[in-house]
Chains A and B, each alone.
Chain A
Amino acid sequence: MNPFSAPAFAVPSALEADRPPEERGVARDRVRLLLSTRTTDEDRNFSDLTDILQPGDLLVVNESATLPARLPARSRVGEYFLHLSTRYGPTLWVAEARWGAGTPGPLPLAVGDRIDTAGLSARWVAEFPGIPRLGFVEFDRDPFDAMAEFGRPIRYGYVPHDYPLDAYQTVFARVPGSAEMPSAARPFSETLVRSLRGRGVEFAALTLHAGVSSLEVGPDGGATDLLYPEPFRVPAATVEAVARARARGGRVIAVGTTVARALESASGSRGLHPAEGFTRLYISPERPPRIFDGLLTGFHTPTSSHLALLAAFAGAPMLERSYRAALERGYLWHEFGDSQLILRDRLPAGAF
């Protein structure tokens, strides 16, 4: 079932990026960039952003840093991995229990089960409603130190080897909290950021700590539109930067679906406002995005809620056209893959 009007397609395994671009001999900021507008899909390079973006444009980035969130775990069901997804409090997390990178659960864990993980003692305290793979885990102490010592970055079956945490950090990472890298910003290098600033492109930051993405493929291989809440914070400085960009006629470009979701979560009847909390806002054609004019992002799997967001932003025909182009022209998918910049026609003056 496809709950949104977005293209249905299969990603051939040859187009699944199975390692960081640096391991394929491509510099971070030299991945391919598909520039999609209402009329065309142009093959460009990520470093061309210095030409594509104009003075006065604003790039909104996610400051969330990736955690080594995969911990080895053991309980009465055997040995497995705990992927820490979302921190609710110092010792309370939502986590996914998996047998391995390519072998998901759900595991037969029961409420009350004791879990030994990375030198910590924990309990599976509640199932996550509607998402059997996830549950609440209460630790005997804050697991941050244990993650630093025993944790590895979360990876899935299409990435066969572990890479160091650095491979999973963006140049904007300041606030640890994401279970998975907010990967749209991965191709930015310090040099590219400097060039863009030099050209008059502005940057503003917010935080959305991304949880695990695994559950976005349902047990039947179909889409699940279950989004679970993730912590976000849109500071006043970013709200002001968006207003300034609008006032000078610049474009507001969301770097990644996490940024798009945080911006839209901080928008209400009084427009964009500083906000902090948890969001599971589902952006779809029924609730289209209002805050940004451009979206810089990777290529997403057919059943993901990210793709619903893209369809809501670009419109299904444009998205379908550009995804067909990406597949035909061999663009690479997933967190280590290539990029797409979708530029929508300007929002009318007076829109927030």
Chain B
Amino acid sequence: MRAPRSERKVALVTGASRGLGRTVAEFLTAEGYSVILTARGTSDLEGVGTNLSRSGADVHCVAGDVTDPRHRSQLAEHVRAAGRLDLLVNNASELGPTPLPELSTYPLDGLRRVFEANVVAPLALVQILLPWLERSRGRIVNISSDAALGGYPRWGGYGASKAALDLVSHTLGEELKVRGVSVVSVDPGDLRTAMHQAAFPGQDISDRPLPSVTVPFWAWLLEQDPALVTGHRFRAQADRWEIPA
């Protein structure tokens, strides 16, 4: 019952080798998407790819850094080869220097790298892939964070970049309405991931749920009319997911 390749939806997921990105990639392939996956860690990414391929999924792994324009062009080449793009999940994120520094002493080069990975790169991918997304009336999902709203001490660098990404998502949502492309921002909530562990070095984070806790949210979001949800921000672990009035 899997559709032939040309009819299958295609998704590109960044940061797909671990944590949330991996969970999203697994859910999408189970749902019948062909996926193009990218992450910096080659061996982790290949591991995910091998696992998914074994279950019959159509998976293309392209290791690299989304802040590198050449890597982004390479991703666009894979989209061209796939012949379509229905979903872009900008999940790859840079936490910044750890332990997380306070803003008063935040290394500015580090801050630039955080913004480069969390704001510039996702937007650059949107720019380069927009023709494909437009053709399929596709969706863009930008992964945000509670830190974008929080004002939590030492989360200022990462939080500011995610707040900027939220505004990028909101604005793109408005700008791309006429072109039929939907943009949402998703705060996945606290998760038991390598990134979360890096933010809390040496602490026990086993009380946080695994990224699979977000699966029902992805199932819900991807079944919503893209035009109704565009421009909005969702919390994957909230007790309500409302369709905006």
Q: Is the CB of A126 within 8 A of B30?
A: yes
Q: Is the CB of A89 within 8 A of B239?
A: no
Residue of B nearest to A111 (CB): B30
Q: Is the CB of B216 within 8 A of A228?
A: yes
Q: Is the CB of A89 within 8 A of B1?
A: no
Q: Is the CB of B242 within 8 A of A128?
A: no
The answer, among A121, A138, A278, A281, for a CB contact under 8 Å with B220, is A278
The answer, among B56, B219, B239, B241, for a CB contact under 8 Å with A112, is B56
Q: Give Cα A265 to B32, complex, Å.
A: 33
Interface mask (B207-230 → A, CB under 8 Å = 1, otherwise 0)? 001101111100110110000000
Instruction: Report how many A-B pairs have Cβ atoms within 8 Å.
Output: 78
Stretch at the interface among A72-80, A174-182, A269-277, A340-348: A269-277
Chain A positions 128-143 with a Cβ under 8 Å from a chain B Cβ: 128-130, 136, 138, 140
Which A residues are in CB contact (< 8 Å) with B239? 265, 279-282
* A88 within 8 A of partner (CB): yes
Task: With both chains docked as a complex, state the minimum distance between the C-beta of A113 and any C-beta of chain B, in angstroms.
Answer: 11
Q: Give Cα A228 to B216, complex, Å.
A: 9
The answer, among B214, B222, B241, for a CB contact under 8 Å with A277, is B241
Query: With A111-B30, A129-B209, A138-B32 in contact, is A276–B242 under 8 Å at CB?
Result: yes
The answer, among B1, B214, B220, B243, for a CB contact under 8 Å with A123, is B1
The answer, among A112, A114, A140, A277, for a CB contact under 8 Å with B55, is A112
Q: Give Cα A130 to B31, complex, Å.
A: 20
Q: Is the CB of B243 within 8 A of A125?
A: no
Query: With A111-B30, A112-B30, A123-B1 in contact, is A128–B243 under 8 Å at CB?
Result: no
Q: Give Cα A112 to B215, complex, Å.
A: 15
**Range, interface on chain A:** 20 to 34
Which A residues are in CB contact (< 8 Å) with B215? 126-129, 136
* A92 within 8 A of partner (CB): yes
* A229 within 8 A of partner (CB): yes
Q: Is the CB of B219 within 8 A of A92?
A: yes
Task: With both chains docked as a complex, state the minimum distance between the C-beta of B53 and any C-beta of chain A, in angstroms.
Answer: 12
Task: With both chains docked as a complex, state the minimum distance between the C-beta of B57 and any C-beta of chain A, in angstroms.
Answer: 9
Task: With both chains docked as a complex, state the minimum distance between the C-beta of B169 and any C-beta of chain A, in angstroms.
Answer: 19
The answer, among A136, A274, A276, A277, for a CB contact under 8 Å with B219, is A136
Which B residues are in CB contact (< 8 Å) with A275? 240, 242, 245
Q: Is the CB of B240 within 8 A of A277?
A: yes
Q: Is the CB of B240 within 8 A of A278?
A: yes
Interface mask (A66-96 → B, CB under 8 Å = 1, otherwise 0)? 0000000000000000000000110010100
Report A's interface with B, CB cutoff 8 A: 88-89, 92, 94, 111-112, 114, 121, 123, 125-130, 136, 138, 140, 228-229, 265, 273-282
Known: A126-B30, A129-B212, A265-B239. 6 other contacts (CB 8 A): A88-B223, A92-B219, A125-B27, A229-B216, A278-B220, A279-B239
In the A-B complex, the 7 residue pairs with the closest CB atoms? A89-B223, A277-B242, A125-B30, A129-B213, A281-B239, A129-B212, A140-B1
Report B's interface with A, CB cutoff 8 A: 1, 26-27, 30-32, 55-56, 209-210, 212-216, 219-220, 222-223, 239-243, 245
